[in-house]
Structures are given as C-alpha cells and as structure tokens.
Structure 1
Amino acid sequence: MDYSNVYRQSLADPQAYWAQQAELIAWFKKPETILQQRPQGSHCWFADGELNSCYLALDWQIEQGRGDQVALYYDSPVSGVKQAISYRELLIKVARFAGALRKLGVDKGDRVVIYMPMVPEAAVAMLACARLGAVHSVVFGGFAANELAVRIDDAKPTLILTASCGIEMDKTIAYKPLVDKAIGLATHKPAHTLVLQRPMLQASMTPGQDLDWHEAQAGVEPAGCVPVRGADPLYILYTSGTTGQPKGIVRDNGGHAVALLYALRNVYGMRPGDVWWGASDIGWVVGHSFIVYGPLMGGCSAVFYEGKPIRTPDAGAYWRVIAEYGVNAMFCAPTAFRAVRKEDPEGALSRHYDLSSLKRLFVAGEKLDSSTHDWLAGLLRVPVMDHWWQTETGWPMTSAMMGWDNPSESRLGSTNKPIPGYDIRVLDGDGNELPAGESGNICVKLPMPPGVTWSIWNQPQRFAEAYLSLFPGYYHTGDGGYVDDDGYVFITGRTDDVINVSGHRLSTGEMEEVVSGHPAVAECAVIGVQDALKGQLPVGLVVLKSGEDIVAAALEAELVERVRDQVGALACFRRVLVVQRLPKTRSGKILRAILRKIAVGESYKTPSTIDDESILPEISSVMKQAGLV
C-alpha cells in the first residue's frame, strides 16, 4: 500500500476514506451521517450509527470463533497471580457484572467511576459499563482523595467501583480510605461503592453504602448489549488542565471503534490471534485504547500486567513477560526502558529469555532519545518505532504504518510521518504556515479523523477555548516542532518547553537529546532558569547509570562540550546538576513544569499525578546548594 497516495486520499475526501474504514465494524445500524459539524467548531463521526463497544470486543469475537482464544493474560508479579482468561470466560464475567450494575440502578447514559488497580476486574468493569451504554470514568488508582472528589463532582456517578488496595512494588496502598474521604469531600454522593476485596488487605465496609464485589453479583441476570448511537459517550477520561481543573475528555462510541481497529491493524500491524502488550495502566489513555478496547476489538490476546519494569523481581521483568506469553508487539514509554537500562546497562538479563516472538516495539509518551533507541534496537534486533499521540486524540497521530507492506523507515528524532486523516501543519504565532524545517506550533487542520475527542464533559466551550480558538480552523496540540522536507514530524517538546536565551528560542528537548547520549547518563531533564543578562539559561538535571562513578565536574565539562558541539555555543549550556532521581507522573513522564518552578523559586502545587512527592524537596535541596534558588 503506497503511503503517499493513501494519505492524500484521506485528506482530499475524508468522508469517503473513513466511511470505507467504518465498513469493517459490526454495526447494529450502519451510520447514514458520516461527518457532523459540532456547534463549538469540532466534528463528530458516525453520529447516527448504532453499535455497542462491548459487543465488538467480546460477543462479535466469539461469533467469529475466538471463544477459546485467550483474551487477557493477567500477570501480576507484585501479587504472584497469573491468569489466562478466554474471550468466552471474559464475556461471562462481563455480562454477569453488567447485570449487577443494572440491578443497582445503572442505566444507559449513567456515569460510573472506576478507581482500581491493574486487576482483570477493572477491565470487566469498563466493558460492563460499555455493555449497558453507561459511561465509565477511570481514575488512576492511588490518586489523592481531593482529586478523586473533583472527578466525582464533575462526572456525578451513580456508583463507584474500587478495590481494597493496589500494590506499588513492595508497598500496599489502601484504596478504600481514599474513596471514603473523596466521597466525604464531594458534593455529589454516589448511591453505592462496590469493593473488590484483595487477599493482601481487607477493607472495612460501611453497611448500606458499601457492597462486596462478588456478593453483589449473586443471582443476577446476565445483561445483554444495549445499542448506543455513534455519538453517545463511551467514557470520560480526565487529563490535566492549565487552570488546575481537570478536563473530562469525552470519547464517543462510533469514531472510537473505527479508529482503534484502524490503528491496531494499520499502525501496529496486529492481526487476530496475535499477542499484544500495552505496558501501561487503565488509568491512562493507553490503557483504554490499547490494553482493553483496541486489542479485544481486533481479536488479539492482550497482556494485562500489574507491576513495574524493575524490581519485580528485577530489571528483567519485561523480558520475562515477552518470552512467557509470546508477545508479538509491545507499546511502552521510553522512561520504563531507561529505568531498565539504568539497572542493567548491558541488557544482560535479556539473554536469559527467548524474545524471538517480538516483531516490533513502539514507544510514546515522552521523547525517545537516540541513546535509548540504539540500546533497544541493538538489544532486541527488532524495529523500535517512536510515535506520537495524546489523551485527546485517543490514538496515534504520527507513526510508521507497520501493517502495510512498505512502512516508512524510522528517522531518529522524528515520530515518523502523519497517519492518514491527520493533516498536520506547523504554524507561527500568527497562524501562518511555516515551510519545511522551521519550528513552530504543531497543529492539525480540521476536521480531525474519527476517535478524537470533540468535547469536554459538561464544558463544550472549554474544549473550543483550549484547542480550537488560538488557531481557527485547526486543532492546537500544544506541542512544538517541525516537519522536514520528506514529511517526517519532529516534536521538540511542549511549546512552554522552549527557552529564550539572548533572543534565541531554543528547545530544551534538543539539548536533552544530546545530554542523554552521554554513556554515563541514564536520564535527564533540561530546564530554563532566569538570568539577568541573557533572560534564560539552560540547566541540566542528570541521573547517572548504576555503577557510574564519574566526577561531577568532569561530567559537567563533557556535557557542556557535547551541547556546544551539537547544539551550538548560543545555547549557553554551562550547568549540570547530578540528582538521584527526577520527579515523574505515575505514567512515567518527567514533571518539567515543576522543575522550572523550583528553579526560579516559584510556589507550586504538588501535581496529583506525581509518583513520589518526596523527590521534590530533594531536587530543591540540590538546586539551593548549587545557588540556583
């Protein structure tokens, strides 16, 4: 399949292109309206079609003869539990749980908050909501109570589904007290809380309010699939907003189903019966799209993993999973592999496992530096594909089309070419399109393809203001970068990750690429600090690989020289601080905005998504000792 021709066709006549893709979905009633303009300027696809996302993920797969095929491989090194759940077994669990939800008053259009760890029951809960036409909102397990309360008040759920605890490495985190506190803080009071009691911790239950997960299902009638319209919401997923108030990203049923099947087959190259591993959590968009819905709608077997890349029990955890389940393709954040490399720089643990099943590896979520790319490619001997997307899009915007005969080759530093349907342009601050090679705002010309959000829950105007108002006629991604002469997209970072040094606008992402290439560096972050003479100056925060004992002054001198050689003297990169660790979200993204605020002495609010807040005073102390604060 020729990329250039297909890409041009998708932009020249998007309705015809996506109508053809929609033919691959088992609709109850095929859509007559392919593309619909929304009042706030966005677009909705397949609005009047009728379908059910749970039916596509389970019932239809069984009808195609996949009942005995494994749907989910549950692997939990932190609890010592493994399960292989077939499509037929999963359908039985989902239909029964949907019946329990219905008995408790959940109906089509009602919201259900899911606050759970990575256990199969979490996937069952999501699919059961979809089966009823209810709208689920998964909140990452372990979020602080006040953050959960904000989401409860915004979504106004009929029920909350939770577990007694989650497990982080060797630490057990009690969920039920957090849920109880959140309900106490929230104005909206859900009717009940369903609690999955885990063996390692039994939660106390409040009679009348709290219900046992299993007891609630006793004697219920399994529920069938409720038809919903293509425009009806499937889920709400909250993402951070610039105002601090989270944005409830709404995903519809119709466009979502078409987009995920398209991505699974064409972008990731997966076919029915293949084994897929999305190494993430259901609390994030990757977990929604490519742990639960996408793989199941595509007839694959998906790995559902509860653990970390290291110390579960060692840095060979990921290699074990690939070998044990015969994983054909994997999706992960670069951060995870940098952690593996830090613990096992030579990749020696990978040689303990047969990794021959793995055909390709995809990374996203954060910039893939060339050092990590080369390490992975050399270790695994498979294509390592960087690609780019957002919570708002729900599926990739740029990638090689690995399901095609001649996918685009990788190009270091690039997340590859735009996927058909995404008309990616680079605009300057006034909205003028920039020529190839010039950096600016990465935007997508409307209409966006199916599967992309077209509203924020209860705040449609906020969607327009956040994404459509700055550059009319375009979706503003908030990322900066450029497109080269061959159409490859280069993301240099969020537009607020650009610093101004003596009037030169420089990407900290480019400097991070150079710093991370040093053989002693495991990971890094480059931030801008205030300077009376030059406006801003870059400072590198560096974490060393295990076993490295290079003198800090020598490392700084070598890194300064590398940046001078590869970026230029105008970068004025002169300071390097060695730190033990960097603050990250639970999904592995480095919290650069917080680092910038610490560096300039601004007050900050600890992000609700932070993995370990004790890192922040460590960083502050290092910066104070260096005289930056």
Structure 2
Amino acid sequence: MNRLLAQTAAPGMAVCLAAARRLAGATAACRAGSLGRGVRLAGMAASRGISTGQATHSKKVYLQEQLRQQSLDDPEGFWMSAQREIDWITPPTRALLTPDPTQPHKVLWFPGATLNVSYNALDRHVHAGRKDQVALIYDSPVTHTVVKYTYGELLQRVMQAATMLRRQGVGKGDRVVSYMGMVPEAIVAMLACARLGAIHSVVFGGFAAHELAKRIEDCRPKVVLASSCGVEGMDKVVAYKPLLDAALDTCAHKPDKVVVLQRRQMPGELRAGEQSWQHAVDGIPAADVYRGYAAVEANEPLYILYTSGTTGKPKGVVRPSGGHAVVLQYTMQRMYGCAPGQVYWAASDLGWILGHSYICYGPLLNGSTTVLYEGKPVGTPDAGAFYRVMEQHRVTTFFTAPTALMILRREDPHGAFRSKHDLSGVRAMFLAGERCAPEIQRWWVRHVTGTDDTGHAEHRVGTPVRTVVSDNWWQTETGSPLAGIMVGLSEDGAETAPVKYGSAGLPVQGVDLRVLRVADALDEDAEADARPTEEAAAGEVGNVVVRLPLPPGVMSTLWGADERFHRTYFRRFPGYYDTGDMGMVDADGYVHILSRADDIINVAAHRLSTSAIEEVVVEHNEVAEACVVARAHAIKGSVPVVLAVCKHHRREHTLQAVREDVVAAVRLRVGAFASVYAANVVFVERLPKTRSGKVLRKMVRAMIAALDTQVHGRGVSAACPVPTPATIEDEAAKDEVWGVLRRWAAEEKQG
C-alpha cells in the first residue's frame, strides 16, 4: 500500500487536510445548529446503548470525513481527479452534467467520455506487467476443486467468449442473460459482454423457471448462457437446464442462441440449435479470437440487475459503465484496504450486487486477486470453511453478510474452528446485506481478532490497521457503499475512524446523507409529502435519504421503466433519493440503518423498529438468530412476534425460560410498551432466507396474517397459502416455519 496521502487521493487530487478539517467542522456545526426538536421513535436509541446527546468520543474529524466534504463542496474537481485512475478511450472533459434542471435525479457522469470496462479489468494489467499474476481463484469445496487463473489466462478466456458472442451477432447494446451459478465461466461471460459493449443480466443459477422467464421477457436477450447444473452442497446438485427449458417454453421472446456449460456432476440435454460451452467457447483456437473491444460511452449500461424480493414485473437496475468503474476503483484501496496484487474475497453470489461489484469488477479493475467461492459458511465441509479459505489463499480483505456470522456463531460459538487457522494476513473484514446486530459483530471481533470488546460501544482500530471488522451499507441501486469505515486511508490507524457497533459507519465520498422526519399522519403509501421536508435531530429515527445529485455509479434508471424509476425513488421526497430504509445519524455522525421502512411496527402509537427487538433477543446466550415481525392486535394496532433459532449447544434453559428471559430483556432494554409476550416468542429450527442470507420477513408477516384470518374462519390449512418468494434459498424452510406457526396458532386458540 502507498503511504497516507498517496493512498488517499487519485493522482493529481490535491488534499489540503487543514482546509478540509475546517470545512468539516464548519459544516458539522451548521448542521447541528439547524436541527430542530423531533419526536423520537420510542425506545430506539436506548435499546442500542447509543448516545443521542453528547458524542461518545472526541470530535476528531477523520480523513474520511474531510474527503467526503471535499467531494460535496467541489464534486467537479473531486471526481475529475478520481477518474484519472481509469484508462479511457476518450477521456472526460467534465465530471457531471444535469441535462434537465427539472429532473435533478437524471445526472450524467463523465458525459461524452468513452471506455471499455473489460479492458480496464484485464488488458491494462497485462500490458502493465501483471500477465502472470493470479487474477481469479476458483475455490469449490463442493466439487473438491481449486483453480487459479492468471490475468493473461483470464483475458484469453474472455476473448474466446467474446468471439463466440460476436459470431452470434451480439454487439453494443444487445442483452445477454447469464444463468450459470458460481463458476469461473460466469465471470468470463460478464467480462466478455462488457468487452463487446453488450449488456449482461446475471440471474441466480437455480432461480425458479417462472422468475427466470420474467427476466428473459423483460430484457429480451439475444443469447442465454447457462450451466447444466449447480452444486449447492457436498451432496446437493440442482439441475439448471430443465428450469431454463421451462422458462424458455413460456417466454414469448426467444433468444437467438442458448449455450450451456456442461458440468460433469449433471450434464444437461441440449435441444436443437443449442451448443455446449465446451464446444462453442473453449473450442475456439487462440489464433481465431477477436482481440478488439468496443468504446462505450460512460453513461451507457454495463449491466441490468434485477432487485431481490421483486413481485410482479421485475425491477431491472441499470448500471452506467463509466461512473461505476471510477467508484469501484476508488473504493477498492481506500474503503477496503486492498492493493493491487493482494487477495480480495467477497463471500457472496454473482447474482447479487456484491458479487457484481466486489467479486467480478472491483478487484479486477484494481489489479487484485479475487476469490470465487462455491460453498457455504458451514457444511462444506464444516464451520472452518471460511477460515480455511482466508488462510490458504492469504486473503487481505474479506466480505460477507451478517447472516453468515450468525450461522457460524450458532455452529461454532466458542471459535474452535477459528483457532486452527492463521488469519494474520487479513487486513479488514466487512459486513453488508443487512444490519449486523452489535452482539454478532462483537462475537466476530472476539473470535477473529482476540479482542474482547464486550460491552464497549466502539472498536478502536489497531496499529497497524489489521483485522478491522466493519459494517457498511449500500444497495443494489447504488452499486457501492453509501456508508462505511474507509480502512485504506491510513496505514497506522491514526486517520481511521473507530468502528461503532451496530452502525454502518460514516457517509462516504459523494454521499450527502440526511434523515428526514417521519410524518406519522402521512399515509405510508403516499408518493410525496405535501408539507416541507424536515431534517431529524441527531439520534432521531426517520427516513434515510440522499440529497441529489447522487454520486457516480448509482443506477441511471430502471430497464424500460423510466417513469417507475422516478416514482419509486424520487417522488416521495423531491430533491432526494429515497433509500426505503429507516435509521438515524448519531451525535458523532455515524449512520445507523435500523430497518426497511415497512419493518416498522406501530404498537399503541409507539413506532418501533424490528431490529431494535431482534438485537435484544440475540443477546440471549441460547439464541443464535431471530426475526421479529408485526402481528395485528385489536387494541394496540400491532404487537411483535419473535421467531427465534436456538444454538445447537443449548443446554442450560428450557424454552419457556428463554421466552421469559426474552420478554424481560425487551421490557428492560426497549420498554414495556413494546408488548413482547411470552406466547408470541416462537422457536423454529431455521429462518427462511433469500440466497444472499436476508430473512424473508415479509413472507413470515404474511404467514401470521393468514393464520389469524384462518383461525377465525373455518380452520387452518395444512398448505401455506402465502406465495413462495422468487428469491427463497430453500422452499422447505417455508413449509417448516408454516408448520411451526400452525401449531403455535392452534395452541393459542385452545388456550
């Protein structure tokens, strides 16, 4: 890593630290003085041990805050300096342009400039002498495979795939759907599309045929690339080809070509006109490959990614090429502390935004080595899988979802597997996907770093910066973080802000984050608040928004749905991007994302976040994870229902004792008004989740609503009446939870 200032700024970016500190201090004072009195969400801050008055540490202005202020005060200068780390075909002459002032959400970043993202991810590193450096490590414990690809080898494979696509008539602006799972060819396909200026849309391998068909129908691809199967466990193989066939049979749109990677675990039957990847791509001789690449305007699409949890017509987020490349390059070293040549591992899926940004594009743009892991946190083969990969491949930066930590805590609560591995090479570990409860984060810090932070509000970054465990917050729509701790700005930790448990960190470059007061009288389904927008006070929970213009790399629109784009994200709060999240900014400027806006429970006029209660529940030494949802109540409007998963080593308490402990803890930490009753604490073997590990709260809430309706009707049906979400990881989990809830409802009725 370069030293502090060189590492902080792109070439040519002059950073005046004293001036930045003055700007940050003046802005903070102005903002604090303008904040009015607000109505707190009852018990929210107290339940987290968060001070909403005086700062919990000295008001040092960290380098991250100085750079952010510079980016807001002079976005033109800031981003014109940052873009110099990208190789352009036609360099930009300006950073941003708002073509129509009446539509401030429509911003063009680096207008008129052209580049090729695939060239930036591969060719330029080969030309710079990294041809023989490892670019990609494919680690698949489920197939007992570890394969390493150098930058030169990966470039050759990408050129082969681009040649095949070009022969099928794929060119700039055409769409290609990838339905391949966690195999190297999936990354090859993404980069091959980018090379031609084609727009890829990655769909989870194993996604239901009906949902795959929706996405094919929406983006109308010229070619579909698929794997014959996916390997999702040591003994679990899922056939993809029949699902693809069923999807194509129902689609009005038919692709020109289907190419299937035949995996030895379960080859698929090819239909007329279809080809195997092995023949269509791998069979192309090196002498015949197309070595060119398209010049893509900075605001033209790189890919379409459909958001999780979508119902009805899919919502395809469109990612602009230029701004995305600039921001990913900027964050790799500064946010995540990973230099060229070092190893970056995001334990996610290519079907999610994390996989796009920080398995494929980010590490390769940076000249790092990326790990593609086809396995699970546990069971492939045991709870030491993550530690083994980090040690074996000398991972510098690790990224996963809080759910993975909950699973590890349940399976290996005392860190027995952790103790078997050397993680001294790990510089930083990051969490994203959903909010990480403080107790889960503390557990991870204790077992990974050996630092006992029990009861502390913060984790101070050590010297040198090593094994920092930080949450950060972003969305499919944004493509990169909106908040986090930028560990790469300081070698010795002096300029690195402390990690505050339960927080997503500080806002990052280009993000003018605000929290707007909740208007209780306003119908939650209203598209806009007719009254003037009021900012919340420090510690007051409200709607988390980002003031326009949004930074580079954020979605430019929704595919084929520009009006829906405006209605969904910008109409409710004019002049702001509506994140759809509820949260607060505390007195130290840290962002706390508490829940989605629809995860707020209104109990007898007290607005409570589900995560406030979940945090208290998982602190019980018998509980591994929990999910809290609202249940209708005749008098109080709604009350919480707790679904809890016990740790496998549970021995000390009966379930009834755990229920009573949970109720007592919530009364103490949140308040009696939270109305958590022992009868509404339900134990399940596992929680239903999406493939990225998010708990399917909406589905659970719908189950409880259906049960309440049926109990007062003719009886509870054995089959769950709630539709299965397209993103569910294991449909059996839905049936298991429904069975438990049926028994719970029946017992309640009898009682």
- Same fold judged by TM-score > 0.5? yes
Q: Write the deviation string for residues 547-601 of structure 1: whole angstroms up to 9, x where unpaired.
A: 2143111000111111111111111111311111110001100000111111111
Tell me the distance in 1 between the aligned counterparts of 2:243 and 2:278.
21
| Residue 98 in structure 1 maps to residue 162 in structure 2 | yes
Contact kept, 8 Å, 1:280 with 1:286, in 2: the verdict is: yes
Q: Equivalent residue of 1:626, what SS?
A: helix
CA-CA distance at 1:617 after TM superposition: 2.7
Closer, same or farther: CA 343–427 of 1 in aligned 2, 3 Å: same
CA-CA distance at 1:242 after TM superposition: 6.0
| Residue 423 in structure 1 maps to residue 526 in structure 2 | no
Tell me the distance in 1 between the aligned counterparts of 2:426 and 2:650.
31
The residue that corresponds to 2:106 in the other structure is 42
Report the more deviating stretch, 619-628 or 575-584.
619-628
Tell me the distance in 2 between the aligned counterparts of 1:72 and 1:533.
58
CA-CA distance at 1:522 after TM superposition: 0.7
Q: Write the deviation string for residues 274-314 of structure 1: whole angstroms up to 9, x where unpaired.
A: 11100001111001000000000001011111011111011
CA-CA distance at 1:432 after TM superposition: 1.6
Tell me the distance in 2 between the aligned counterparts of 1:526 and 1:229.
46
Identity %: 47
Report the more deviating stretch, 84-93 or 605-614.
605-614
The residue that corresponds to 1:333 in the other structure is 401
Tell me the distance in 2 between the aligned counterparts of 1:32 and 1:174.
50
| Residue 66 in structure 1 maps to residue 130 in structure 2 | yes
Out of 231, 254, 279, the residue aligned to residue 347 of structure 2 is: 279
Tell me the distance in 2 between the aligned counterparts of 1:242 and 1:287.
19
The residue that corresponds to 2:664 in the other structure is 561
Contact kept, 8 Å, 1:240 with 1:246, in 2: the verdict is: no
Closer, same or farther: CA 205–189 of 1 in aligned 2, 3 Å: same
CA-CA distance at 1:33 after TM superposition: 3.9
Out of 606, 613, 627, the residue aligned to residue 724 of structure 2 is: 606
Q: Write the deviation string for residues 168-211 of structure 1: whole angstroms up to 9, x where unpaired.
A: 11211111111111111111000111011111111111122x11
The residue that corresponds to 1:222 in the other structure is 290
Tell me the distance in 2 between the aligned counterparts of 1:449 and 1:268.
18
Contact kept, 8 Å, 1:241 with 1:247, in 2: the verdict is: no
Matches within 5 A, 1:428-577: 428=517, 429=519, 430=529, 431-549=533-651, 550-574=653-677, 575-577=680-682
Out of 240, 252, 257, the residue aligned to residue 187 of structure 1 is: 252
CA-CA distance at 1:621 after TM superposition: 2.5
* TM-score of the superposed pair, with normalisation by structure 2: 0.82
Tell me the distance in 2 between the aligned counterparts of 1:269 and 1:275.
11
Tell me the distance in 2 between the aligned counterparts of 1:138 and 1:152.
11
The residue that corresponds to 1:75 in the other structure is 139
Closer, same or farther: CA 484–233 of 1 in aligned 2, 3 Å: same
Structure 1 counterpart of 2:279, which letter? E
Tell me the distance in 1 between the aligned counterparts of 2:587 and 2:434.
24
Structure 1 counterpart of 2:514, which letter? R
The residue that corresponds to 1:393 in the other structure is 478
Report the more deviating stretch, 217-226 or 603-612.
217-226
Q: Write the deviation string for residues 491-520 of structure 1: whole angstroms up to 9, x where unpaired.
A: 110011100111110111111011111111
| Residue 617 in structure 1 maps to residue 722 in structure 2 | no
Structure 1 counterpart of 2:500, which letter? R
Report the more deviating stretch, 433-442 or 619-628.
619-628
Tell me the distance in 1 between the aligned counterparts of 2:740 and 2:164.
53
The residue that corresponds to 1:197 in the other structure is 262
The residue that corresponds to 2:691 in the other structure is 586
CA-CA distance at 1:31 after TM superposition: 1.3
Q: Equivalent residue of 1:328, what SS?
A: strand
Contact kept, 8 Å, 2:309 with 2:725, in 1: the verdict is: no
Tell me the distance in 1 between the aligned counterparts of 2:409 and 2:142.
21
Report the more deviating stretch, 370-379 or 251-260.
370-379
The residue that corresponds to 1:379 in the other structure is 447
Report the more deviating stretch, 388-397 or 568-577.
568-577
Out of 502, 515, 538, the residue aligned to residue 413 of structure 1 is: 502
CA-CA distance at 1:114 after TM superposition: 0.2
Q: Equivalent residue of 2:430, what SS?
A: strand
Higher RCO structure, 1 or 2 (CA under 8 Å, sep 6+): 2
Contact kept, 8 Å, 1:47 with 1:254, in 2: the verdict is: no
CA-CA distance at 1:420 after TM superposition: 1.5
Q: Write the deviation string for residues 292-345 of structure 1: whole angstroms up to 9, x where unpaired.
A: 000000010111110111110111111110010000110000111211221111
Tell me the distance in 2 between the aligned counterparts of 1:47 and 1:135.
19
Out of 233, 236, 239, the residue aligned to residue 171 of structure 1 is: 236
Q: Equivalent residue of 2:178, what SS?
A: strand
Contact kept, 8 Å, 2:337 with 2:427, in 1: the verdict is: no
CA-CA distance at 1:241 after TM superposition: 6.4
| Residue 137 in structure 1 maps to residue 239 in structure 2 | no
The residue that corresponds to 1:354 in the other structure is 422
Closer, same or farther: CA 242–204 of 1 in aligned 2, 3 Å: closer
Q: Equivalent residue of 1:403, what SS?
A: helix
Structure 2 counterpart of 1:614, which letter? A
Out of 235, 240, 244, the residue aligned to residue 312 of structure 2 is: 244
CA-CA distance at 1:38 after TM superposition: 5.7
Tell me the distance in 2 between the aligned counterparts of 1:156 and 1:434.
44
Contact kept, 8 Å, 1:158 with 1:191, in 2: the verdict is: yes
Q: Equivalent residue of 1:128, what SS?
A: helix
Tell me the distance in 2 between the aligned counterparts of 1:368 and 1:448.
25
RMSD (Å), alpha carbons: 1.4
* Corresponding pairs, count: 628
Structure 2 counterpart of 1:610, which letter? I
Tell me the distance in 1 between the aligned counterparts of 2:224 and 2:606.
51
Q: Equivalent residue of 1:203, what SS?
A: coil
Out of 302, 307, 313, the residue aligned to residue 381 of structure 2 is: 313
| Residue 32 in structure 1 maps to residue 93 in structure 2 | yes
Segments of 5+ residues of structure 2 without an aligned counterpart are: 1-7, 9-62, 450-466, 520-528, 710-720
Structure 1 counterpart of 2:511, which letter? Y
Q: Equivalent residue of 1:524, what SS?
A: strand
Structure 2 counterpart of 1:58, which letter? L
CA-CA distance at 1:158 after TM superposition: 0.5
Closer, same or farther: CA 454–88 of 1 in aligned 2, 3 Å: same
Contact kept, 8 Å, 1:76 with 1:82, in 2: the verdict is: yes
Structure 2 counterpart of 1:415, which letter? A
| Residue 626 in structure 1 maps to residue 690 in structure 2 | no
Q: Write the deviation string for residues 446-503 of structure 1: whole angstroms up to 9, x where unpaired.
A: 0010010020011111110100000000000000011111111111100111001111
Structure 2 counterpart of 1:73, which letter? I
Q: Equivalent residue of 1:499, what SS?
A: strand
The residue that corresponds to 2:489 in the other structure is 404
Tell me the distance in 1 between the aligned counterparts of 2:432 and 2:624.
18
Contact kept, 8 Å, 2:177 with 2:224, in 1: the verdict is: yes
Structure 1 counterpart of 2:89, which letter? F
CA-CA distance at 1:245 after TM superposition: 2.1
Largest Rg, 1 or 2: 2
Contact kept, 8 Å, 1:25 with 1:257, in 2: the verdict is: yes
Tell me the distance in 2 between the aligned counterparts of 1:585 and 1:399.
24
Structure 2 counterpart of 1:165, which letter? C
